[in-house]
Amino acid sequence: MSTEAAIYKKQTAKSGFAKQVREYFWGVAFLVPAIVTFVLFLWTPIIKGIVYSFMEVDFVKGNRFIGLDNYRQIFASSLVGTAVLNTLLYMLMCVVIGYAIPSFVAIAISELRRFQGVMRLFVYLPNIVPAVVLYGMWQYIYDPLGPANQILSWFHAHPVMWLTDKSVAMLSIVLVETWQGFGATALIYLAGVVGIPKDLYEAAEIDGAGVYRRIRHITIPGIRHLYVLMLIMQIISTSQSFQTHYAMTGGGPNNTTLTYMYMLTNEAFVRFNFGGASAMGVLMFSVLTLLSVLVFIIQGRVKPS
């Protein structure tokens, strides 16, 4: 009796398991390739990065655990300080030119009564230029005897050494990138502006609110979520920027355009200090995560009011 019950129990358990396998088999099978690629090409590097940051990576002699030495070296290096300051300056300039102004342009485009489609197209067009063409293009524009200085000469301004003057080089790079990214940002804002219900403007106008006040109190609050989103996206993307700097100035003149990320790649592929580079990556990750958490908290605080 008892053995029979046990057998019966075992059988149901087995068939239950088999049933479960049958039920889940295809669902899991479809997920396996993605899980494998995520583990192999994303999670492994992420974890390896943390591990390497405590190691001296050497292909010949093998890796050696060195504790916090990599981090100590980073904090002791004055060049890292320069790179961090450069990156902050670069981010600030990008935010000033490439974050707020596109939203006003978006509002302006939404007010166009004709050629709105054409204007959208024109504004977005630079986004299509491949990076390598962008570099070639602007290298010529910034040439001391090139078009940029020619335009300045129309206004009787002194020629500027765009890429070799220490105080201008970073701004020149920001201008290049803003020229390219401006339109995409503006169009994202534009989608928000267009989505604001038109009756709000109608009601405001009837109540006697002027154009400026309509923009100030309806349009801008209406796209507030986009402002927060774009700020986070800008911070995350600009803080990692280095390719334009690498291609256009090579970090010069005198390291004024050396960004943190640029220094990180130099550390790895020029000085072959892979451990130090990994440690720089880990530090950057910590700072960025902290920043986005902060922004979210601030956003949460702003919203209820």
Partner 1 sequence: MSKTVRERSIISTFDLKRPQVAVGYGFMLLVLFLIALTMLYPFGLTIFTSLKTRQEVFTFPPTFLPKIPQWSNYKEGFRFISLGRPFLNTVIIYLGNAVIPMMIVGLASFSLSQMKVPCRRWIVLFFMCTLMIPGATYLIPSFLNLQSLGLIDSYWALWLPAGANAFNIMLLKSFFDGIHKELFEAARIDGASELRCFFRIAIPLSIPVFVTLLIFTFTATWNDWYWPSLILTTPAKLPIAPIVYQNIVKSTNLALNIKFSILSVVMLPPLVFFLIFQKQIMHGLNLSGIKG
State which of positions 131-160 bind partner 1 (CB under 8 A): 131-133, 135-141, 145-147, 150, 153
Q: Of these, 226, 251, 258, 266, which contacts partner 1 (CB under 8 A)? A: 226
Q: How far is the CB of 292 from partner 1 (least distance, A)?
A: 8
- Please say whether the beta carbons of 187 and 124 come within 8 A: yes
Determine if 219 is a binding residue for partner 1 (CB under 8 A): yes
Question: Whole-number minimum distance, CB 10 to partner 1, in Å?
Answer: 22
Residue 55 binds partner 1, judged by CB under 8 A: no
- Residue 96 DSSP one-character state: I
Backbone dihedral angles phi then psi of residue 65, each to the nearest 5 degrees: -75, 125
Q: Provide the minimum distance between the beta carbon of 191 and partner 1 in the complex, in angstroms, as a whole number.
A: 4
- Half-sphere exposure of residue 112, counting CA atoms within 13 Å on the CB side? 14
Cβ closest to partner 1, residue 6 vs residue 100: 100
Binding to partner 1, residues 273-292 (CB under 8 A): 274, 277-278, 281-282, 284-285, 288-289, 292
**Nearest residue (CB) to partner 1, 9 versus 48:** 48
| Beta pairing partners, 180 | none
CA of 254: how far to CAs of 79, 83, 95, 167, 194, in Å? Answer: 11, 12, 24, 11, 46
Regarding 161 and contact with partner 1 (CB under 8 A), the answer is no
The token pair at 212 is 């400026």
Residue 302 lies near partner 1 (rule: CB under 8 A): no
Is residue 261 within the footprint of partner 1 (CB under 8 A)? yes
Could you say whether residue 83 binds partner 1 (CB under 8 A)?
Answer: no
Number of residues that bind partner 1 (CB under 8 A): 98
Q: Is 265 in the site for partner 1 (CB under 8 A)?
A: yes
Q: Which of residues 20-49 bind partner 1 (CB under 8 A)?
A: 23-24, 26-28, 30-31, 33-35, 37-38, 40-46, 48-49
Site for partner 1 in 184-213 (CB under 8 A): 184, 187-188, 191-192, 198, 201-202, 205, 211
Contact indicator for 103, 189 with CB cutoff of 8 Å: yes
- Does position 168 interact with partner 1 (CB under 8 A)? The reply is no
Choice between 93 and 105, CB closer to partner 1: 105
Among 70, 172, 238, 239, binds partner 1 (CB under 8 A): 239
Among 55, 93, 94, 123, binds partner 1 (CB under 8 A): 123
